[in-house]
Amino acid sequence: MHFSILFHPNKPESPKIAQEVADWLQAKNHTSWIGNTFNESEVHEESQKSDLMIVLGGDGSILRAARFATPYDTPILGINMGRIGFLSETDPQNWPTVLDKFLNNQQWIETRLMLSATHVRDGIETASFIALNDFVIGGTRARVVRLDLSVDGDEITTYTADSLIVATPTGSTAYSMAAGGPLLPPLLNNFVLMPVAPYLSLDRALVLHQEAVATIRIRTDHGAILTVDGQETLELIDGDEIKITRHHHVARFARVGEKGYFYRRLFKRLGFER
């Protein structure tokens, strides 16, 4: 088997452990490639050839890796070196046990919804993005933006808010949760719209069906911005539209624990474990 091992350049221990993983795999007659999560072209190329992408870092590193791996249906296994580690399957102390189970076909694959966003200006599609966590549309200053929402071609409402989060079930445990949104398990394929600091407009979460097409039209006189998984950005102007729907690929995660792990892990990570 061939493995991609991605390390985070700003975490001193990450490259060292990446080499340890590579040596361990080599001893078991498997090949591997070690790369920096920010070397996009190299990671894209290696994703096509890999049986598994091993990611050393926090949830942010895994979000970035998912955008590389998803188009090729390459599964991801995270070794948590961050603060929370919602998406990781193991840690720097226990990765040999987890990888050994993977090599002995004792894993299962968890699929997670990815979202696709298309930017439209003057009727022309100018850019597209995919996200595992969320898209956030908000103002560039400490002022509200007005966002006209249509779902499946029907005009629904206008948000007046600091921003609007469009989150997957994976993203429902992140910014959306902090804004008061619902927690959705990864088995669901729905996505949720959650306004941040709404003013005299809808202040509740709106859960959309998996095939929904959400179109958000920006109305502002001071600029706005689209943020993708907290990592990529696109400047927006008055009249721009963002069309969001499910991506035709899903993110795939290699798991070795019980399939009912989600709620137990969630509450443990949040500090509410019984």
Burial status of residue 12 (CB atoms within 10 A of its CB: 0-12, 13-18, 19 or more): exposed
| Gap between the Cα atoms of 53 and 74, Å rounded | 7
- If DSSP codes are grouped into helix, strand and coil, which group holds residue 101? helix
The one-letter amino acid code at 32 reads S
From the candidates 59, 134, 162, 240, give the one annotated as an active-site residue.
Answer: 59
- Count of alpha carbons within 13 angstroms of residue 199, beta-carbon side: 9
Tell me the sheet residues that pair with 76. Answer: 53, 253
| Gap between the Cα atoms of 43 and 38, Å rounded | 8
| Gap between the Cα atoms of 64 and 124, Å rounded | 27
- Spatial strand order of the sheet with 251-255 comes to 31-36, 2-7, 52-57, 76-80, 251-255, 108-112
Contact predicate 221/204, CB 8 Å: no
| Gap between the Cα atoms of 205 and 222, Å rounded | 26
Look up 229 and say whether it is catalytic.
no
The one-letter amino acid code at 211 reads E
- If DSSP codes are grouped into helix, strand and coil, which group holds residue 147? strand
Tell me the sheet residues that pair with 155. Answer: 150
| Gap between the Cα atoms of 26 and 48, Å rounded | 20
H or E element that contains 129: strand 124-131
Instruction: List residues with catalytic annotation.
Output: 59
